[in-house]
Structure 1
């Protein structure tokens, strides 16, 4: 349905925000706020992570990149209004500056067959490049952050919506503001994607995240669905599960890609669903969706 391009392509991304942390205590401060282990990142390293409230529910998930003199958080732009004040809440007590620097950066997706060879030829060892950074996301998929004055790669351009579909296909979460405060990190599979450290020490919401792992308290996960729908699919739209001749609400849409009637989407659902489960979108009775294999193991 959605295939990776036969050559590397550049996908301009307009819906990403970039937050920066600078100052001598930037690593120490962020380490006490987020799920990932900030202290282990060297310059050029990146990781997924989450920022939770005190109850362990996500304000945001993000890609965290270490540029050496500053840390960058790349996230869905709609999350910033509520998330940034929460991330800044205790910064006044630390030697750290935390700002929305989205206007200083260009953000792109990179994907296509041969991308790893292209990166080896143009970026070389390490991921720092032209004052920015390349963030590996999945096989032959990466994110690229460049300053505004940097020279852009001479690659064919792709559509932002197509990149969104590629990320769904890769099993990558992308929550928006309508889902803030709803999900713990494991419900978006962050533990399976290296976005949670269970031995780094305390951070906001850590007790809930740890309880979900060690006591089996979490019964939900993010899944990829594929199928058809004649109407536009929206984030937070209800999904229904087929039970004989009846349908029962079972979860909500996290993110969606559509091309004609074909669609791919991510949704947070109960972990015990059978692989042959049939679902549909509430209010779109002719839609049909089936579970797709995740491209990674769904560990606790």
Structure 2
């Protein structure tokens, strides 16, 4: 993978064998910068999170939906000076950017994809707080808070789980150091085990926020007022009707299924399609994935990944409550 801040050689040398704390370049995650006098108001009407809760010391997790409540993207949002910055996986960020630009012509708001300006890293692993301090950051007090150092911003997503955003020039310098750099799959595994999803192309425009547990990870405000898709999202909360949720599954296999791959449930001697893969990562023949399944699934149910190998899947506990 080639970017202006990460060379092919550097990317190829990244390893999954790093022990302890690590920092992983995430070239598949990108930044959209939004400016203009109407930027705050515009995003407030386009997202599930409440921008009135955004401060200089925190960030927001949210989603961008269409009029039917189906998601274009899941993102993390923070501010710097008069600019709003959105971090998301490239597929979903591209989808949301198209929609935001389409309707943004009616507001005083500008969009900059910033591919030439910012780099994204993921930090994690045991004793990652020491690595955070080594990089010059004050530790964010709690999940949802951020810390700044020069032109870089560190977001604490969960325990031992961070995103780091910095200008390309600073990222290039960072890649020349002797820090414990690791493959992105190590960070993505942690993201999955924290029950945090992102949208890859097959699921964009296909699922509502509650299907990916966004109500459980503080990504939906039910008090902020109107936004695109709010009617559907609010109805699912107050009237019920959502029958699906996201679960963590694990298997021993060398396969790496793509988003949208089928998951089947055993019913006596038969198998029935009941769900699909959201995100997956495979490290040393260990597969971890997030799956969209019926919300009455239990660890006692027998699940498999539909493939030539019929890979059996084990359900792992979520780190949060869905209730």
* TM-score class normalised by the smaller sequence: over 0.9
Q: Which structure 1 residue ranges, 4+ long, deviate > 6 Å from structure 2?
A: none
Q: Which residue of the other structure, out of 181, 193, 203, is the alignment partner of 1:157?
A: 181
Structure 2 equivalent of residue 181 of structure 1:
205
C-alpha separation in 2, matches of 1:289 and 1:242:
11
1:103 counterpart SS class:
coil
Q: Which structure 2 segments of 5+ residues have no match?
A: 1-15, 140-145
| 1:7 maps to 2:20 | yes
| 1:39 maps to 2:63 | no
Alpha-carbon distance, 1:89 to partner: 2.3
Structure 2 equivalent of residue 145 of structure 1:
165
Structure 1 equivalent of residue 148 of structure 2:
128
Q: Which structure 1 segments of 5+ residues have no match?
A: none
| 1:232 maps to 2:256 | yes
Q: How does 1:53-92 map to 2 (within 5 A)?
A: 53-92=66-105
Alpha-carbon distance, 1:284 to partner: 3.2
Q: Which residue of the other structure, out of 107, 111, 120, is the alignment partner of 1:107?
A: 120
Contact residue 44 and residue 133 of structure 1 kept, 8 A:
no
Pair 1:167–1:29, CA change in 2 (3 A): same
Structure 1 residues 238-297: Cα deviation after superposition (integer angstroms, max 9, x where no partner):
110111221110111011111343211001111001222121111234311021100111
Structure 1 residues 160-207: Cα deviation after superposition (integer angstroms, max 9, x where no partner):
112111111111102211111110001111110010000001000000
C-alpha separation in 2, matches of 1:80 and 1:246:
39
C-alpha separation in 2, matches of 1:295 and 1:4:
25
Output the aligned Cα RMSD.
Answer: 1.9
Q: Which residue of the other structure, out of 211, 229, 238, is the alignment partner of 1:214?
A: 238
Contact residue 49 and residue 196 of structure 1 kept, 8 A:
yes
| 1:21 maps to 2:41 | no
C-alpha separation in 2, matches of 1:207 and 1:5:
46
C-alpha separation in 1, matches of 2:81 and 2:246:
33
| 1:278 maps to 2:302 | yes
C-alpha separation in 1, matches of 2:57 and 2:32:
17
Alpha-carbon distance, 1:132 to partner: 2.6
Structure 1 residues 96-123: Cα deviation after superposition (integer angstroms, max 9, x where no partner):
1112112211110011222234435621
Alpha-carbon distance, 1:233 to partner: 1.4
Count of equivalent residues = 297
Contact residue 44 and residue 67 of structure 1 kept, 8 A:
no
